[in-house]
Each structure stands twice: as structure tokens, then as C-alpha cells.
Copies of this chain bind each other. A is one copy, B any other.
Amino acid sequence: MHEIHAALGGELLGDPALVIHRIAAIGQADAHAITFIANPRYRAQIESTAAGCVIVAPALAEAAAQRGAAIVTPDPYHHYARLTQWWAARLRSAVPTGVHASAVIGAGVTLGDGVTVGPLAVIEAGAVIGPGATVGAQSYIGAGVVVGAHTRLAPHVTLMHGTTIGARGIVHGGVVVGADGFGFAPHQGRWDKIEQLGGVHIGDDVEIGANTCIDRGALGDTVIGNGVKLDNLIQVGHNVHIGEHSAMAGCVGIAGSAKIGRGCTVGGGAIVLGHLELADGVHISAASVVMRSITRPGQYSGVFPIDDNASWEKNAATLRQLHTLRDRLRGLEKKIDTP
């Protein structure tokens, strides 16, 4: 407890000598676990939890202290986030740094201080890996790629030439950055390739989920702003711009040249068509399809409501005649209004 409190602050109520072995959800916590209550609605759980220590807001301080140790802080969820970071950093510090002997490092590669390169990684000529950065096992870093300080690439990451990523980023396994965008000129019934000559520019503090793809630009760059968070299996097309601190959940697709504002969120499985803009602060619900630009902040949705299959079939069949229904309704209104 003492060590956690010294690292993260807050007001400690109870015994600083309490030994904490794990972080746990409030329902799974035992006497050596620390947990948190982010939502005052869950205050009843304070009495039932077996947790050694609970992180709470000031309003719950008294209730928490009556049952054991507590850390009091204005934003318990943020305090919990920082606790997980401190915990993970402690675990990571046990992993040795250095370049594994089996890695293949090209000519003129620059490795900063404290860089870790995993087994069987490939770093092509002229790449620059910032201090404290990690290149995971079997990852591929293309020629001239720049990786910022303390950025961590998992195993099996692919950064093609023309990619730069800033500091403190996290890139998960299977991510492909800088593959060709999807550009073809139709010509005599065939598709003529437009070679993709741009790159990808990724800011600081960006996290990219497993198997997500970010294509290189056709001429200019694809640009991912500082603090953007992308979940798994997301497709980001060529020349997309994503504004700072926007976040997207899994399976989202952003088509080429779309421009997403700052502080936006896109729910899982949503699709944003190409060449359109979302203003700052636009929030797209999961599985919705954005087919036109959205110029005002707010929440937007468009999903067919799920139902038991028989009801859906009837409603879907009727939906295919919806325009006719509207005309019939209009006809009735006319008849009644002009008797």
C-alpha cells in the first residue's frame, strides 16, 4: 500500500503496511487486492467487497474507511488507470533490453539508448528507432521508418517504408501500416493501378489495435493525430486524417480521404465513406454508416433494430414498400380533408 500511495498520491485512509498482491474488480477482490468504485451507484458494493483497499471519491470516503483501507481521490477511475499503468510498468521493467542476436538490422539503422529489438525482427536500412523504444519479435520495420521514443511495437508488426510514428505509442500484433491504398483507374474494363507514393504520419501517444491496417497516402500522407486510439481490425484508407484524441472501436472502416475531427468517437463496426468530413466532437454509434459529412457535434446513429426473426421478416418486407405506404397515407389524407 505504502509503495502504491507514494507513487500515485491521493489521501490514504487505513494501514500503509497492508500488502497488495493484485488489482481486481470489486466483485473478485480479496484481502490482498486493491479495487475501485468509479460510479456512486455502486456504493452498496463497498459493504460487501472483501477488497483490502478501495479507491473512492470523497463522497464515499467515510463508508470506505469503515470497512478497511481506502484511497480518496477526486476521479477514482483515472486513479485506477494510473494504478494499472504503474503496475504494468513494474512488470515490464523485468524484461531485458538490447538487440536479440537473431534480429536482422540493415545498414545505417539508428538505435536510441535502451532500445529493445526482439528475436527475428527485421529493421531495414536507414530506420531510426528512438530511445527506450521496443521492436517486437518478428516485426518488420521498413527502410527509413522513424519510431519515436518509448514507443512499443508488439511481435508481428509491419511498418512499411514511409511510416513515421511518434513517442509513447503502442502498436499491437499483426498491425500493417503503410500498405498501398486502394487506388485504380478504370481503363477498358480493367483496373489500372495508381501507385501509392505517399506515406503515413502517426503522432505521439497513439495506440493501434491488433491486425488494424493504416494505408499509405496516394500522393500526400495519411495522418493520425496525437493521442488517437484505434482498436483491433480497423481499416484506415489512404489519405484519411484523424484528429487528435479521437477513438475508434473494433472493426471500423474509414474509406479513403475521409477527414475525422478532434475528439470524435466511432463505435464498433461503423463505416465512414470516403471524401467526407466529421466535425470535432462527432460521435458515431456502433455499426452505423456515415454517407455524408457531419458538420455539427453530437451522437449519430443508423442501425436496423434487431428483433425475433419472424417480426424482422415482416417489417423488412413492409420496409421495401415504405415509399408506397407514404403515398397511400397521403392519398387518404387528401380524401379525408376534401370530402
Residues of A within 8 A of B (CB): 23-25, 28, 75, 77-78, 80-82, 84-85, 87-88, 100, 102, 104, 118-120, 122, 124, 136-138, 140, 142, 154-156, 158, 160, 170, 172-174, 176, 179-180, 182, 184-185, 187, 189-197, 205, 207, 209-211, 213, 215, 219-220, 227, 229, 231-233, 235, 237, 245, 247, 249-251, 253, 255, 263, 268-269, 271, 273, 284-291, 298-309, 311-323, 325-326, 328-329, 332-333, 335-336
Contact = CB atoms under 8 A, between A and B. Distances in A.
Given A192-B81, A210-B179, A303-B304, A309 B285 contact: yes
B182 A172 contact: no
A104 B102 contact: yes
A251 B253 contact: yes
A307 B318 contact: no
Contacts of A288: 304, 306
Contacts of A291: 286, 303, 305-306
B323 A318 contact: yes
Q: Which of A170, A302, A317, A320 has the most CB of B within 10 A?
A: A302
A309 B316 contact: no
A285 B317 CA distance: 16
Which 7 residue pairs spanning A and B have beta carbons closest together?
A302-B306, A88-B195, A84-B195, A179-B210, A235-B250, A299-B309, A176-B210
A116 to B, nearest CB: 13
A315 B320 CA distance: 7
